[in-house]
Amino acid sequence: MTGTIDIRVRPAAGTPQGALILLHGRGADEHDLHPLLDVFDPQRRLVGLTPGGPLSLPPGGRHWYVVPRVGFPDPVTFGATYADLTALLDEQLAEHGVGWDRTVLGGFSQGAVMSYAIGLGEGRPLPAGVLAMSGFIPTADGWQLRSEDLQDFPVAIAHGSLDPVISVEFARDAQQRLEAAGADVLYRESPMAHTIDPRVIPDLQAWVRDRV
């Protein structure tokens, strides 16, 4: 069930000005969001990283953690992935000479959950911004949302109001919690199911560009 976290790297056009990390959703893999690297960073100013989750679970594909119920990742698999993924990303960024302060961290579905966890976890370095598409801020034993340094911190949230997998209420709750903590939230909700709405891509693209 548990394996390694594979990673695909899209090099920057020259010396990277920063990094863009995109984490896939449940049942996909490291190839799934790779094309979005060029969409969000067409000039290739940033080195792009798309890791693949360590778990193989039914009905197939890669997963970041086991789902007992939406909003509450299984703490054992979530905790193990969190430790391995943070270590891998820290290592990769150091290798490319990029700090977290110049790294945009984002993802879709389970990948958005891991982006919140790594980007906003207590004791972690803050990235340049967190991009959460169709996800939620996790509730899990052993993980805590940071309680400080979120003043003016940039977060972009995109979610479908018709999402049957992860209710839009999770996105609204995240917006509320993060704005209460002082974060600068770009919030885009559209009448879509569990998918990325192409109509919000230009806004997200501009948001990524402005972060680094």
Contact 89, 118 (CB under 8 A): yes
Domain, as residue range, for 185: 6-211
pLDDT in tens, the chain (212 residues): 567 999 999 999 999 999 999 999 999 999 999 999 999 999 999 999 999 999 999 889 999 999 999 999 999 999 999 999 999 999 999 999 999 999 999 999 999 999 999 999 999 999 999 999 999 999 999 999 998 999 999 999 999 999 999 999 999 999 999 999 999 999 999 999 999 999 999 999 999 999 99
> What's the CATH number where 66 sits?
3.40.50.1820
| Residue 1 belongs to some domain of the structure | no
Total tally of structural domains belonging to the chain: 1
Is residue 144 in some structural domain?
yes
99 found inside a domain: yes
Asked if residue 200 is part of any domain, the answer here is: yes
Q: Which helix (H) or strand (E) holds 9?
A: strand 6-10
